[in-house]
Structure 1
Amino acid sequence: MASTPTTAPLRSAEEVVANSRALIPGLRERIFATEELRALPDATIEDADKAGIFSLLLPRSLGGSGGDLAQAVEVMRTLAQGDPTAAWTLGFLMCHNYLLARWPQEALDEFFKDGRPAQMAGVANPPGRAKAVEGGYRVSGRWSYCSGVMHAEWVSLIGLVEGEDVPSFFLVPRDEVTVHDTWDVSGMKGSGSHDVEVADLFVPEHLVRSLATEFTRRSPGSELHAEPLYGYDSRDLVMLIVPVVMLGGAEAILEGYRERLGKRRAAFSPTLTGDTTAGQTRFARATATLRTASALLDAMVRRITEANAAGPDELSAELRTMCELDCQTIARLTWDAAQICLQGSGSSIFRSGDITQHYVRDLLTLRGHATIDDDHILGKAGALLLGRDAEVKGGLVGQ
């Protein structure tokens, strides 16, 4: 059943960022309950709603905080320090409100008719099939990895209309979608990323939109909302989710490792690990690695923001490719830092009640995400850097 957010009071984006920090203890306390449920507990959804997380990126005209890219990144990174699974799911629900607000006014009147943020889950490839009929389309298909669907009111499907070359988004009510219980995994358990399916479902025309109007700076929302973020290509935000959540999770692992250095004895020695050269060196290496990842993230966010502020032109394919490379590099560095900590932590972290192993499983699962696929991104960036590719074309969600 979807968890319905209340009509929370309007908050500034700065308040929401501050509120996200206060959620960390509760997220950590509920980590194993989240894994057992294979969804976020109601308390997590309620706390996030009260904190204003879902409204952060909505424009003020829709009751939101009108937050910017840097603030979205900071909130997701902070939530991941509490629980990467929760940060992933809450981050999607937050970002999906931004995506919904980019639709034309007729759709906005339906999504936000209750004066509160909407809850939407979404899927990407492979596209389903759609056929144009009077007043809309008939859609059929089955899609995997629908993160957050257990908390959604809406589901965004991707389908290819007969006779068209570019897929379209189809927005459908959650209760018209069949959810198949397929998310039986070791990491990111609580994201509830089950398969979803529809069969010959009618979708009215005003809830259908070509991808060509999404992966551009000129979406319908850019004409409706004054906030600068609505003049961005949606990929500028969505491609950051994986590396940002991984960074926050790795920072939590480093925090736990620091505490362990003050308690754990070195092997076959009465000396605390933190008092050994090996322990100190390992902690310094992990810290330096995460500082490098953090600096790269900050530079990328600044570069995207400055490029969008410079004028109305689309960001170049070359810049997008370099940003994808940065995302992949941040993900790699965060996993490297996590491994440095793990190798100096002993076997006790793998006890079932130790949350460190939860962070590890989450990060390892995210490390395999398609949007940071090593072979694809490194090959694409290498071709560009070597001048072997005359034209670099982007695909779905930062690819």
Structure 2
Amino acid sequence: MTIALKQDEFRPAADVIAGRFPADVRPSVNQPTLDCYLAAARGIVPTLAEHAAQTRAQRRPADESVAAIVGAGLSGIMRPKMFGGPGLELSDMVAVGSVLAEGCASTAWVYVVWEVHCWLVGMLPEQGQREFYADDVNLCCGAANTAKAHARAVDGGYMVSGRWGFGSGSTHANWTCVFAAIEGQEANGRPLVRMMIVPRPQFHVEDTWRVEGLSGTGSHDIVIAEEVFVPEHRTVTRADVAGGTAPGGRLHGTAAYRMPLPPGAHLATDSSSIGLARAVIALFRDVIMKRTYVTGKAQVDMPASLIRLATAEIEVRAAELLLQDTMRELEAHLRTGAELTLEQRAKARMVAGYVPDMCKQVITSLVAACGASAMLEGSKLASALLDVTMMSLHQSTEYDRGPENYGRVLVGLEPSNIAI
């Protein structure tokens, strides 16, 4: 049975601005540089860590953590410059998200989801962008599945209803971004699907997110039970978003708005696994410095533990550099005015699965060397293992989808999966 969340359980962004949360929410980032945002992110990692257990228990980000993100000026860093944003690239936002994950993986995951949708709104027609970006802070959740969605064209827009699963960040969001096939419309022999944004209260959230890993993301179902009207200017075709050819994106000068949805979103979700792995390395270092075996020998004197630690440091750094290099290569290519090649897109999809898989291997290795106490109730190590496992199962990062595709493209064959 699903349960509709009560209105007072929602934590919309407007309440953050109004000072409802116990935190100073005045933006502290005054210069729109990546270093400035990274410093701000590092500054709130302790707050996110302090409320991580609360986030897991209540199955949504803690209000204090959301307030810290907004207060540090990190919300909306993917807002286009023409609407008051810093004009950063997706790779910059990913770097910020990985820092936040050192404090709380679920909160960082939600942060990246909000910023990915803030980026996607920049591909709408200009009027739709102006309506969304009119508020100082907007948190937008979303879901791309269309199986239970319905939309029909009417004068000036579309009537939309449906249910969309896995709406990470939904409990604080005041907008949602969903996809729906338009009844009776086709493109290239396939149903025409449009991306559209819908404000609260035209949608509601049903309490369906009961999982072990990433339990604090509030990834409930997004529901529009009765048809609502979505004006044309709040929509764009999925083909344009997936191809990096959305007309609204031409308003902005950064590579982000020429980045196709699949590689951009797939790679962005990797950031949380990097930060989580770094946090586990720090935990493991503390464990071996303090732990003594029943024989009286300190774990820090065990060569095997030191080898695991050193290997983990190198492997996570390699995964981080691979992610950064892949994203920046795509962005540099797009800045030339060229479209991404099939090989670049196939490589990006493989990297999107490789990075969290590598982080999962690292975390599994370190947890395995911490003894049975690593699995005690409330253990941060156990939570990290569950979280990274969930990350690696996401459809954007599932490892098995990538290597065959990339290998086929490398030898001149057509990809077996077109969603790249």
State if a TM-score over 0.5 links the two structures.
yes
- The equivalences for 1:263-274 within 5 A come to 263-266=290-293, 268-274=294-300
Give the TM-score normalised by structure 2. Answer: 0.88
Report the alpha carbon displacement of residue 284 of structure 1 after superposing the two structures with TM.
2.0
Q: For the residues of structure 1 that align with 2:416 and 2:83, how far apart are their CA atoms?
A: 36
Q: Aligned residue for 1:231? A: 258
Give the aligned partner of residue 258 of structure 1. 285
Q: Which moved more, 1:287-296 or 1:318-327?
A: 287-296
Match of 2:96 in 1: 75
**Equivalent residues in 2 for 1:329-348, closer than 5 Å:** 329-348=354-373
C-alpha distance 129-174 of structure 1, shift in aligned 2 (>3 A): same
Task: Please state how far the C-alpha of 1:392 moved relative to its aligned partner.
Answer: 6.6
Does residue 103 of the first structure (1) align with residue 124 of the second (2)? yes
Query: Any residues of structure 2 matched to 1:1-399 within 5 Å, and which?
Result: 1=10, 2-4=12-14, 5-6=16-17, 8=27, 10-13=30-33, 14-114=35-135, 116-127=136-147, 128-164=149-185, 165-198=191-224, 199-266=226-293, 268-309=294-335, 311-387=336-412, 389-390=413-414, 394-395=418-419, 399=420
TM superposition shift of 1:236 = 4.1
String of CA shifts for 1:134-168, please: whole Å, max 9, x gaps.
Answer: 22212222111011111111111211001222311
SS in 2 for 1:162: strand
Shift of 1:282: 1.8
Q: Is the 8 A contact 1:57 1:68 kept in 2?
A: yes
Equivalent in the alignment of 2:188: none
Measure how far apart 1:377 and its partner are: 2.0
- The gaps in structure 2 that reach 5 residues or longer are 1-9, 18-25, 186-190
CA distance in 2, matches of 1:226, 1:369: 31
In structure 1, list runs of 5 or more residues that go unmatched: none
Conserved? CA contact 2:267–2:351, under 8 Å:
no
Amino acid at match of 2:259: Y
CA contact (8 A) 2:408 2:415 kept: no
CA pair 23-48 structure 1, distance change in 2 beyond 3 A: same
Distance 2:303 2:134 in 1: 61
Shift of 1:217: 3.1
TM-score relative to the length of structure 1: 0.92
SS in 1 for 2:150: strand
User: What per-residue deviation string (whole Å, max 9, x for no partner) do you get for residues 347-366 of structure 1?
Assistant: 21222333222222111111
Q: CA RMSD in A?
A: 1.9
1:101 corresponds to which letter in structure 2? G
Equivalent residue letter for 1:61? M
Q: How many residues align?
A: 392
Shift in Å, 1:22: 0.9
Q: Which amino acid aligns with 2:405?
A: K
Equivalent residue number for residue 21 of structure 2 = none
Deviates more, 1:228-237 or 1:34-43: 228-237
Q: Deviations over 1:277-335 (max 9, x none)?
A: 121122122223223212322321232122223x2121012211011111211121111
